Amino acid sequence: MKHDDNVLEVENVDLGYGTLKVVHGVSLHVARHELVGLVGGNGSGKSTILRAISGMIQPWSGTIRFNGNIVRGLAPYQLAELGLAHVPMGRQLFPNMNVEENLLVGSYLPRLRAGRQARLEKVYSLFPDLKPLSRMMAGALSGGQQQMVAIGRAIMLDPAMLIMDEPSLGLSPLYVKEVMKAIRRVAEAGLPVLLVEQNIKQVLKVSHRCYVLENGKLVLDGPSAELEGHPLIRKAYLGL
């Protein structure tokens, strides 16, 4: 599968905790300029796969390559330095710092200091709603606004790729749509994204391709436009 156009390649990985295997032989890839969804129900293993990609846990077997580097043995901060930005579940902003201060936290690495004003402008152009809120405390923002700050902070790392764990979690339907549209803009600006979600309906609308995970195994994948009409998706996930 190794292909120069892929920023991320996960090849036949088994993952687990202790002696319990929870992910079985999963392979997936994300090419440059792609927005790829990884969807599945509660406990299907989505976050476990993200943890392995970002170096928090090690695969039992199989290989993960990020930007041509084999991830095995690299710590999360080393992957961040290589350009992998992980937007964690639950946003994790500093509530008593304002929006701009939260964004600037993303540019803490010495090599990022130079261009950080330009990147701040880029974040405000991707999320125009944030600009007038730049002096507001993050803790006072709505859930959807906080999610945009969390994504913006990841962009401040000047990453080669974004991985996101359930950005729609806890948001009202209106904000879910807003956040999904914002993620689409991020991908269209040239940043590849792996988007993990339970909300398959929304992910199919914005992503280019999608993988469906059940009980730690991939059961389906393909172009999102095709999956929307697939009988399994319509029946099991869209309730049609």
Ligand X SMILES: Nc1ncnc2c1ncn2[C@@H]1O[C@H](COP(=O)(O)OP(=O)(O)OP(=O)(O)O)[C@@H](O)[C@H]1O
CB of 22 to ligand X, least distance (A): 4
CA neighbor of 151 nearest in space, from 111, 116, 103, 213: 103
Question: Among residues 100 and 197, whose Cβ is nearest to Mg ion?
Answer: 197
3 state SS of 148: helix
Contacted entry of Mg ion, ligand X, none for residue 192, CB cut-off 5 to 8 Å set by kind:
none
Q: Where are the alpha helices (DSSP H) in the chain?
A: 46-53, 76-82, 99-105, 116-126, 143-155, 173-188, 200-206, 224-227, 231-232
CB of 85 to ligand X, least distance (A): 19
CB of 38 to ligand X, least distance (A): 9
Tell me how far apart the alpha carbons of residues 48 and 57 are, in angstroms, rounded to a whole number: 8
Question: Among residues 27 and 198, whose Cβ is nearest to ligand X?
Answer: 198
Tell me how far apart the alpha carbons of residues 198 and 121 are, in angstroms, rounded to a whole number: 31
Tell how strand 69-70 and strand 61-66 pair up.
Answer: antiparallel
CB of 179 to ligand X, least distance (A): 17
CB of 16 to ligand X, least distance (A): 8
Question: Among residues 67 and 198, whose Cβ is nearest to ligand X?
Answer: 198
Q: Name the site residues for ligand X (rule: CB under 6 A).
A: 17, 22, 40, 42-48, 198
Of the candidate residues 24, 31, 32, 47, the single one contacting Mg ion (CB under 5 A): 47
Contacted entry of ligand X, Mg ion, none for residue 168, CB cut-off 5 to 8 Å set by kind:
none
CA neighbor of 145 nearest in space, from 121, 122, 128: 128
Q: Does residue 67 interact with Mg ion by CB under 5 A? A: no
Q: Does residue 69 interact with Mg ion by CB under 5 A? A: no
Question: Among residues 47 and 134, whose Cβ is nearest to ligand X?
Answer: 47
Question: Among residues 46 and 65, whose Cβ is nearest to ligand X?
Answer: 46
CB of 132 to Mg ion, least distance (A): 33
DSSP 8-state secondary structure symbol assigned to residue 137: B
C-alpha to C-alpha distances, 83 to 5, 14, 28, 193, nearest whole angstrom: 16, 24, 19, 12
Question: Among residues 44 and 168, whose Cβ is nearest to ligand X?
Answer: 44
Residues 6+ apart with CB under 8 A from 134: 98, 99, 100, 124
Tell how strand 6-17 and strand 61-66 pair up.
Answer: antiparallel
Q: Does residue 58 interact with Mg ion by CB under 5 A? A: no
Q: Does residue 142 interact with Mg ion by CB under 5 A? A: no
List interacting residues with Mg ion (CB under 5 A).
Answer: 46-47
